[in-house]
Amino acid sequence: MTQLAYQSAWQFLIYRLWADNSLEEVIVNELHFLREATREPEKLMRCIDWKRKEGGEKEGKEEIIISKWLQTLGKFLFYCRLRNEEYSVLVESIVQAFRAAKDNYRDIVSQCVESFSYSVNNRNVKVEDFLKRGAVSLIFEEICRPTLNDEIISESLLFLMNVSEKLKEEEEDEKERAKRKGLKRKAFEKMEEEGYEDIIICFHERFDFLNRGRFGVLSLCISDYFVNV
C-alpha cells in the first residue's frame, strides 16, 4: 500500500467517527491509531526540505500527505470521545509540523492551526495538552507576525478564545469540587456531632432482615449516605 493510500484509509475511518462512535475502541485500542498517527508524519517530515520556499517548485507528495495527516489528526481529536493520555502526543505531532513549516510552508501552517482549532473543542483534550506541548505559544507567535493571513489569524483567534473558555470551565469545575468537598466535610462533622454514626450502626444491627432482602447490605460508612452532596 502506498503512503497516500495508507493515509486515505485512516482518514476514511476517522471521518466515520461522527456517525458511528462504536469505531472509537477499534481505532484506538485495536488498530492503534495513536501510534501510527505519530510515526507516519514524523517519517514524512524527514523527507521534506523545510528550507525550500513554498511554491518555488512543484509540491511534493510528502507535503500533500502530511497535510492530509494533519487534517486527519485534527478531525480525530475533534470527533473521538475516549479519554486517552496519548492525545497530547498527537498535539505534539501537530506542533512539530507547525514549527518546521512556519517560515516557508504556510499552507501546512494553516492546516496545523485549523487542526488546533478543531481539537480544542473536544472536552477530553485538556488545555494542558496545548500548553505543555507548545501549541499556545506557537499561536501567539503566529498572530504577532508582521504579515498575517486572514484565514490563519481567524482560526488562531478562535483557538485562543476556546482555550480561554476551557480554562474558565476547568476553574469553575475545580471550585465546584472544592465546594462539594467542603459540604461533605461539614455534613460529616454534623453527623458525628449528632451521633448519626451510632444510629446507622444501630439500624445495621437491629434490622438484619434488610440485609437479607432486596435492600442489599447496609454500609457502616457515613459518607456512603451522602446521596445529594
Q: Note the pLDDT of residue 95.
A: 92
Question: Is residue 163 very low, low, confident or very high in pLDDT (cuts 50, 70, 90)?
Answer: confident
Q: Note the pLDDT of residue 229.
A: 42
Fold of 3-171: Leucine-rich Repeat Variant (1.25.10)
**Cα gap 82→103, rounded to integer Å:** 35
pLDDT tens-digit map of 137-162:
888 888 888 777 788 888 888 888 88
Domain boundaries, the chain: 3-171, 195-225
pTM equals 0.69
Q: Which of 130, 48, 135 is nearest to 87 (CA)?
A: 130
Mean pLDDT, rounded, for 54-73: 80
pLDDT tens-digit map of 91-120:
888 999 999 998 888 889 999 998 888 888
- 36: which 3 cell numbers? 501510527
Do residues 130 and 166 touch, judged by C-beta distance below 8 A?
A: no
Q: Which of 65, 60, 135 is nearest to 104 (CA)?
A: 60
**Cα gap 200→94, rounded to integer Å:** 56
